[in-house]
Amino acid sequence: MRAKEARNGKNIGISFEFFPPKNAEMEAQLWSTVEALKAWDPEFVSVTYGAGGSTQDTTLATVRTMIRDAGLAAASHLTCVGATREDVHAAVAEFRAAGVKHFVALRGDPQGGIGSAYQPFPGGYANAAELTAGLTELGGFEISVAAYPEKHPESADTAADIDMLKRKVDAGATRALTQFFFDNDVFERYLARVRAAGINIPVLPGILPIHNLAQVKKFAALCGASVPAFVEEVLAPVDDDPQERAKRAAELASAQVRDLMVRGIDDFHFYTMNRPQLVTAVLEQSGLKPGANAGASHAA
């Protein structure tokens, strides 16, 4: 793991999540975003992986370019939905050959989509804890996993959810990345329960600057996250004013980051949505400065 960058006198670690592009226009947008955010010298970046490996080829190509051309420490998401263990191991071998040393191990959404019943694939890993154990056995990887401050929607309760996180840690996970949240009290209470359960790995808060309030509310409802009233009160009145909406969204997210710093958090994982402007504004308004590689360029 890389050392954190000293930013405004604090050792703050940042990381970014991207998703693989679906067409040429989205590909250009992705690499423009990578170029802009690379200046912040992230500890790592991650690239999502479609359910059942549906984006495996584009994820692999994206991660390979990030490692080879952009010089970034790139992690690939990896799921076990719709795949046998042999399928998963074959994918891991391809990613290893591309230089991947870090996976974000996830069960993945049910094949029928979010909200449908999950069924383990015959001959496959049943959940993220088993997948983490499999990656640990294969050896040579850093393994991040997901954490849910408001619990996974399929967990019976918070205790069961934290027990699953403990299983993933016992299986070899070295870092947890949280689902997005907007109420820092929720995160602080969750982290206290995680630590009380004997889980001592870093738990990075997932920060989502809001580009589209309606879309975020819809996704939050599906994944069990909440959008507090104060978020709607700030953003809803300016929904038809893109410039003011972006300004307020950056202020909201940067206030969240600054408050988390006051509470002792020094690692942050940003969901970029493959757009650099809001994330950059949040970082700047949080009092952070670009890292040691600011100004570096790459050919993507």
* DSSP letter string, the chain: -PPPEEETTEEEEEEEEE---SSHHHHHHHHHHHHHHHTT--SEEEE---GGGTTHHHHHHHHHHHHHTS---EEEEE--TT--HHHHHHHHHHHHHTT--EEEE-----TT-TTSPP-PPTTS--SHHHHHHHHHHH-S-EEEEEE-TT--TTSSSHHHHHHHHHHHHHTT--EEEEEE-S-HHHHHHHHHHHHHTT--S-EEEEE---S-HHHHHHHHHHHT----HHHHHHHGGGTT-HHHHHHHHHHHHHHHHHHHHHTT--EEEEE-TT--HHHHHHHHHTT----TTTT-----
Instruction: Please check whether the domain covering 5-212+251-285 is classified as CATH 1.10.10.10.
Output: no
Whole-prediction pTM value? 0.92
Res 5: pLDDT: 64
Res 118: pLDDT: 74
Strand 74-78 relative to strand 10-18, pairing: unpaired
Residues with Cβ < 8 Å from 92, sequence gap 6 or more?
Answer: 78, 103, 135, 138
Res 9: pLDDT: 62
Res 115: pLDDT: 60
Nearest by Cα to 65 from 57, 74, 56: 74
Annotated catalytic residues are: 17
Structure-token pair, residue 6: 């000293």
How do the pLDDT tens digits run along the chain, 300 residues long?
A: 555 666 656 689 999 999 999 999 999 999 999 999 999 999 999 999 865 555 678 999 999 999 999 999 999 999 988 889 999 999 999 999 999 999 999 998 766 566 656 777 899 999 999 999 999 999 999 999 999 999 998 899 999 999 999 999 999 999 999 999 999 999 999 999 999 999 999 999 999 999 999 999 999 998 889 999 999 999 999 999 999 999 999 999 999 999 999 999 999 999 999 999 999 999 999 999 887 433 333 332
Q: Where are the domains of the chain?
A: 5-212+251-285
